Amino acid sequence: MRRAIVILSILLCAWGAIAQSRIRMGLGFSVSSGGSFSTYLASTPITPFGELEYEKRLAGSVSLVTGATFFGAAYTTTESSFGSGSKFNAYFIGVPMLMRWNFGNKNLVCFDFGIQPFYLVNARLEETITKFGDTRTYSGDITQYSNRIYVGPRFQIQYMINRLMVGFSVTIPFGGQSSISTLTHHWPLNQQQSTYLGSNGYSDFYITSVKLSYRIK
């Protein structure tokens, strides 16, 4: 009898833990900005955003949020006297570790804050330069010559409508995390010619994302 009571208690605790958790899938888009003066004012193409979110209620209106996030960063500049024409695209996978505050515990508006480590999955660079009337374009996969791991704070606000959630988030890598590793030894252009290298890569950027999520559990 005692054994049955213990097993029942464990099952009830497990059910309670599951009942206090939620899982959402979200899709949207991201835009990025940052780097040097040249890349900060550059055109910023829209990149896809996807997220699988797990929310675990801790107490009252406070929850823990984690999961997996896919997002991109990109810019496009034209050639000028300050550097080459440059086109950069990168994609990352992140693992958010956030605290969620549900305003008034009414499941209407949530504010999330915390940190998000993220890993560079793929990065491509294309640059064009004209010298003595000769225009040359160089392009390639620069992933292996780039720093792969980053971390920074993430802030977001989300509005809930039944099972739907509309969210706006900002991810800002901590300063001093250069995106260049050994690229200077492998890229055909030097720092004076290359907009990307001259900007210390696409360092000190930030990502702004918009997503629409659906609660599947």
Specify if 108 maps to a domain. Answer: yes
Which amino acid is located at 110 in the chain? C
What distance separates the 2 farthest-apart alpha carbons in the chain?
91
pLDDT of residue 81: 57
| Strand 109-131 to 149-161 pairing | antiparallel
Residue 145 Ramachandran class (φ > 0 left, ψ -120 to 50 alpha, else beta): alpha
User: How many domains are contained in the chain?
Assistant: 1
Specify if 94 maps to a domain. Answer: yes
Which parts of the chain sit beneath pLDDT 70? 1-19, 81-82, 105
pLDDT of residue 65: 96
pTM: 0.85
pLDDT of residue 136: 87
Residue 47: domain span = 23-215
pLDDT of residue 82: 61
The closest alpha carbon to 33, from 83, 66, 76, belongs to 76
* C-alpha to C-alpha distance for 193 and 23, rounded to whole angstroms: 48
pLDDT of residue 12: 37
pLDDT in tens, 89-148: 999 999 999 999 988 767 789 999 999 999 999 999 999 988 777 888 999 999 999 999
Specify if 195 maps to a domain. Answer: yes
The β-bridge partners of 114 are 98, 154
CATH number at residue 89: 2.40.160
Quickly count: other Cβ atoms within 10 Å of residue 117's Cβ: 15
